[in-house]
Structure 1
């Protein structure tokens, strides 16, 4: 659990109490987003369950100043009472959207056309009503986001808030890449990284691949994520913030926001316990380190002798596994390995470069299929 850090403390200290109570609880969560919630009881104005969920990757990828901008934005939703009806509005949008999609799908169904005229007329009427509801609530939701952006820029600074928004696509994409290619690569074998590294390793990935994330910060999406996405396009949000008057604030809070945690290792381990479900075997096996995780995961993939690539390794070298594949690559014998893969009669009969050209797609497919998640 994060302590009452400088970022949180400064944001709360600047918070006008007349705007409404601040969240009672702040919790770390795996996603790369931050969201407020209020446990509403009907349409009551009492919200004892106010909570703020802060994505751990934000702490790993943002500076203190940028995190202050994110927190100020989310607290802005409390300030403008956005959370009081957000649960109800969200459920209405979800249910109406699902019904409209269902009715639109039925409209092209031949069976529906056989039904009476009244049914088709009511379906068309509800579809129009549902579309109107989505558009009306959409405008209100986007207005709330713009208002929260302005408040964040005023409290945390224009530069910090805009740069935090620029980081979001890079963090979202890189975190998904990290989970797929590293942290969860061994889950199909019941294997995880060392304790605390499932989420902890993401910070090192960010440090090692900063250059690859630069274009994601500059090429922001100009369109919303979906037709009825409650957030305006990210590029438009950043542009509006950068057009605000300069606040004269000096650059502050350059340190990584992850340092605001009292006990980072304990937080990382506790988050694993909270979000990882037990495998069918009952417990997760833990790798000794990252090289051990990748080696054991790939060894298991290459040990499946029913797959073409492991069978080709057995025929070429007598054994299958990661060391065998690496030795084949180091010796420059991939084309010798490729001749054992199941190829067409035309490819097997070809010679020289023509044969290599025919085998190349097959070899690439097998290597990527077995090793792509470990790149």
Structure 2
């Protein structure tokens, strides 16, 4: 009897490891991708030149956070704001080389590669955000973004900064003739340059990250930008007059390095594009609300004289800018101008 009990006990001891192995193989433990090295994860370096508290800066951080959550840490978006990694004039070359994987440059920054992108720089080309988005995602707009593929770039969305306003330290700008003789900082765009030359101003192409110093040192008299960018860099603190003109749209195309993008697995591409679509919808609303909030802040601070253009004023300004449209038609293409809402409706 004792011998039989010993045999049963020995058999049971042999069976315990089999039970443990079986239980262990059926248990699915979550993978902690954050513990993987950078070489084992997918790392996307996202460089931009504006502040973290701007619509672009906030959206970049939101995108990084959502991608981390949705990929369980397998995809990491590293955001470098304020030009800390690459300056205004450096990031495009860095992206094309593959040193970084994602940027969100202003539309005017694309004109060096594809001059027709200056369509977005035309004064009073769009009256609201909806018109911009419809144009960018329409047939003619998409033909522009597809041209980026020839430069090892792919567009995956568009984010708003807002509509541009004018500030300066010399005099109030109520009529376009008030711009005559003023040295105005602009982004690198032949069309924007023509916009200011047409009304007698002296445009100066200056990188965004140095605008504050240039204004402070008196090298330029004024500038144009969205209220979120103006306030984030405290440019209004150096200026005496602000004109709410809404004369031009400023937005950012989100660009991946095409070679990097094509090497990503399809499921990763889907995760990124789906997330970008979600962030884009949020960003559009946030940008509009933030610019309204910043205008109210400026009104309340009583730190700068604020002037508003009336509808009659805007009509007069539009007529003054007709030569800028003629310049675009002559140098680029009629089809991009003819597709604008003001001409196609």
Do both share a fold (TM > 0.5)? no
* TM-score (ref. length: structure 1): 0.28
* TM-score (ref. length: structure 2): 0.30
Query: Which protein is richer in helix relative to its size?
Result: 1
Query: Which protein is richer in strand relative to its size?
Result: 2
